[in-house]
Amino acid sequence: MKDRGKTKEQLLHELAGLRPKLAEVEVLEREHKNLKEEVRERKKLYEMLLNKVNDAVFVYQPTEKDITSNFIEVNDVACQRYGYTREEFLGLTTLDLSIPEDWGNVSARIEKLRDEKHILFETVHLTKDGRKIPVEMSFHLFDHLVQPIVLFIARDVTDRKQAKEVLRKVEEKYQNILESIEEGYFEVDLAGNLTFFNKSLCKIFGCPKDELMGVNIREFTDQETAIKGYQIFNKVYTTGKHIREFYWDILRKDGTKRHGETSVSLINDATGRKIGFRGTVRDITERKWAEEELRRSREQLRSLSTHLQSMRETERTLIAREIHDELGQSLTALRMDLSWLEKRLPEDQKLLLEKTQSMSELIDMSIRTVQRISIELRPGMLDDLGLAAAMEWQVEEFQNRTGIKCELTFHPEDIILDQDRSTTIFRIFQETLTNVARHAKATSVKVSLKETMDKLVLKVRDNGKGITEKQISSPKSFGLMGMRERAAHFGGVFKINGVPRKGTTVEVKIPAGN
């Protein structure tokens, strides 16, 4: 009899054998479900990361024949920046975004991805509406996956380009300014090696630009100045302060010497780290020559002035002596003869007697005038009795002539000076009293003559209206200039200052010369 089917026991036995396989299927289904969930989560994360980036991001799958192909993924920034929808992007390649004239360059660079795996370069992209965007393109090839992909990031560098252009213009302007100034400009590292300079520095150093770069600045001076320069630069490095007017001798490439005036300051980087020095060099050789010539001229003029004053004093002495001896004696003899004649006239000759008396008075007045002129030209007591006596006489004459009270003090009372210094002090004192009488409108004058610390100090102070700065600095104040030159001849100092409505003070200090 033929078996029409399996028995119940057999079916149960087969079912029991299938249960483990069903369990495996259930496990596989759960794993598949979990895997799909993980893939979905990873895709969300991937999309979120793409859209968090501020740059345009593109993904495509290259082939063995063509390293470029249609995009398979783009982020929101790419759509916003280029004006294409995501669907439109899926039909485009990298070259579709590039300007036509740069296709060859872009293709050649992307081909290097096969070997280098990562490339970076700049180009210009076109948006959907035709706008041009300067971009920095970064390509990354991931060929270790099941299917190789290229991650392509396009960064808009418009702001960077504009900033670079602004910086370029600023640097160009800065360079033009540096090249237009006469001063030499330099930048050196901490060791003193030149890292930047302008044409004027080349001219000052007498060295072409291609030979100057990297040369240590101490090569253009002598050893003594180099040591001095090191001290200056070290001070700038230590204190951070700007040093001005550092003078040094420049030895040019051809061996000639120039005089330089330099300023130096510190260079810090963005973090504040000290990296070098900058400064300017001014060629002051001509100025030095002019100053030296002016100094020699001043010395010659001062010597000439001293010589003229000496000659003037000599002439005054001779004239005073001639007036006193010749004219004074003649007038005295004439007075004696007239007196003799007067005694012999008869008493009844009243008219002649009155005439002779009048003549006698005139002769006496002339004698006094001769004595006054002789003393004013050269007080004999200055040579015979000394400076103190001559000043006392001058004070008495000043008071009698002007009515201005004058107080004179000496310390010590027996000041002894050589003839030249005595004459200088007396003439300055005499000129000062003359100025008081003419301009001060004073009622009293105080005069002191002191010898302290090997210096002779003359001070004259009045209570008049006070001299002004304009009067002191006036080129027509020849009297003040003369007094200043007299003091300077002995290495002395002449000072004058005034206070409105309180008076003027003159102070002279010269070495005593004892």
User: How does pLDDT run across 149-170, given as a tens digit for each residue?
Assistant: 898 899 999 888 888 888 888 8
Virtual torsion, Cα 466, 471, 472, 477, nearest 10 deg: -120
Q: State mean pLDDT over 117-125.
A: 92
pLDDT at 420: 81
Q: What class is the 384-511 domain? A: alpha beta
Tokens of 34: 């979990």
Per-residue pLDDT tens over the stretch 45-56:
556 656 677 889
Is residue 514 predicted with pLDDT exceeding 90?
Answer: no
Lowest mean pLDDT among 88-92, 165-169, 403-407: 165-169
Torsion sign across C-alpha atoms 462, 463, 466, 471:
negative
pLDDT at 442: 93
Torsion sign across C-alpha atoms 387, 388, 390, 391:
positive
pLDDT at 39: 52
Determine the Cα–Cα distance for residues 365 and 374; give it in Å rounded to an integer. Answer: 14
Tokens of 403: 């009515």
Tell me the chain's radius of gyration from C-alpha atoms: 53
Determine the number of helices (DSSP H) and then strands (DSSP E) in the chain.
18, 15
Coil vs helix vs strand at 125: strand
Q: State mean pLDDT over 273-288.
A: 89
98 by Cβ neighbours in 10 Å (0-12 / 13-18 / 19+) ranks as buried
| CATH architecture group of domain 53-157 | 2-Layer Sandwich (3.30)
Nearest to 227 by CA among 249, 243, 206, 205: 249
CATH 3.40.50.1100 fits 181-283, yes or no: no
Residue 87: C-alpha distances to residues 71, 83, 147, 312 (Å): 10, 12, 22, 112
Cis bond upstream, residue 412 (ω within 30)? yes
pTM above 0.75, yes or no: no
pLDDT at 21: 65
Is residue 299 predicted with pLDDT exceeding 60?
Answer: yes
Place of tokens 């560098």: 157
Summary mean pLDDT of the chain: 84
pLDDT at 480: 86
Q: Between vectors from CA 495 to CA 466 and to CA 296, what angle results, nearest 5°? A: 135
Identify the band that residue 136 occupies on the pLDDT scale cut at 50, 70 and 90.
very high
Identify the band that residue 447 occupies on the pLDDT scale cut at 50, 70 and 90.
very high
Is residue 326 predicted with pLDDT exceeding 60?
Answer: yes
Contacts of 416 by beta carbon, 8 Å cutoff, 6+ apart: 386, 514
Identify the band that residue 338 occupies on the pLDDT scale cut at 50, 70 and 90.
confident
